[in-house]
Amino acid sequence: MIDAVITWVDGDDPAHRAKRARYEGRGTHSEATATTRFASSGELRYAVLSLLRFCPFVRRIHVATDAQHPACLDPLLSTPADAERIRIVDHREAFGGHADLLPVFSSRSIETMIHRIPNLAERFLYLNDDIFVGRPMTEGDYFDGDRPALQGHWRRFPNPAVEWLKARVRSERPGFGAAQRKAARLAGARGQYFLLEHQPQPMRRSTLAGFYAGNPEALRRQAGHRFRSPEQVSPLGLAAHLEIAVGARTAGPRDIGYVRPGRPSGAALAQVMDRLQADAYASFCVQSLDRFTEADRAVVLSGLEARYR
């Protein structure tokens, strides 16, 4: 049995926008509060459709959100067969006894708690709402028996002196790679770490549950940051390195499609979307669609609609 979890919010919702404004304060890095982190351009519908179409082995899709309802899914929720496989989950359900930490707006805080979603299968795929399954996949593409089959790149840890110097001369960013390095060290990695990419991540709910079982204060420290912080580790990176420590196999990324504002653009972007139609990508990520030019956004949305409608 395998489930999927997708995290989503509508940052343009006035209530959500007002909630964020109440908690934004001094000391929060500007990247952590950038509106693009919370923007919704309808990507969620395509993420769900991609799982329904290309991952028939997924039992249920849990959409985790912050006291919101994704109206873009209403056509699917009105179809009994699809509605049976989709569940909208409020953050309070996942945080449970730690709901006093809410609201949080950091994806790393939320990802730390997704393994606590009620009735979530032991094995599950985790996706952001801007990540899509690109072609027909099998259970074996993501799991080696009971264990996740991890895909990414092995990287050497940077020189500690260089890291220290960077932190001294500029404000530390809550960056993608830095959070994974921090997670790897927490899991005991030395010398090198495994860098995950923007793709569906196979996970086991017992892995993070077991790690935090004896230290609820560590769980609260990690999940209690309202906005993304350089003090947080990547929960995905932590889970991956805990799995590697008990024998999970690793491999290079498989056919990832990735587009972001201006890279590529115009005719080159149209070619990428054509490749999506032709099964070229096992997974596909569209980062910050709200920041694309109007013309490029139309190309992407047209391509996603053609692929997943």
Q: What is the mean pLDDT of the chain?
A: 93
* pLDDT of 169 above 60: no
β strands within 1-140, DSSP E: 2-7, 58-65, 86-90, 123-128, 131-133
Domain regions of the chain by residue span:
2-308
Least Cα distance to 73 among 138, 168, 6, 172 occurs for: 6
Higher pLDDT pick, 162 / 263: 263
Residue 119 clears pLDDT 90, i.e. is over it: yes
Angle made by CA atoms 95, 99, 105, in degrees to the nearest 5: 80
Please tell me the predicted confidence (pLDDT) of residue 34: 74
Q: How does pLDDT run across 40-49, given as a tens digit for each residue?
A: 889 999 999 9
Q: What is the pLDDT of residue 204?
A: 98
Q: What pLDDT was estimated at residue 38?
A: 66
Distances (CA, A) of 112 to 79, 124, 182: 32, 14, 14
pLDDT band at 214 (very low <50, low <70, confident <90, very high): confident
Residue 89 pLDDT grade (very low, low, confident, very high; cuts 50, 70, 90): very high
Look at residue 32 in the predicted model and tell me its pLDDT: 61
Q: Mean pLDDT, to the nearest integer, of 115-124?
A: 98
User: Torsion angle of alpha carbons 134, 138, 142, 146, nearest 10°?
Assistant: 160
Average confidence (pLDDT) over 178-204: 97
Separation between Cα atoms, residue 63 and residue 124, nearest integer Å: 13
- State if pTM tops 0.85: yes
* 125-150: average pLDDT: 98
Q: Is the pLDDT of residue 171 over 60?
A: no
* CA nearest neighbour of 251 among 140, 177, 122, 138: 140
pLDDT higher than threshold 60 for residue 217: yes
pLDDT at 160 over 60: yes
pLDDT given at position 134:
98
pLDDT bracket for residue 31 (50, 70, 90): low
Give me the pLDDT at residue 27, please: 58
Q: Length of the chain in residues, anyone?
A: 309
Any idea which fold 2-308 has?
Answer: Spore Coat Polysaccharide Biosynthesis Protein SpsA; Chain A (3.90.550)
- Backbone phi, then psi, for 250, in 5-degree steps? -125, 150
Q: Is a pLDDT exceeding 80 seen at residue 257?
A: yes
Whether residue 170 is predicted with pLDDT greater than 60 in this model: the reply is: no
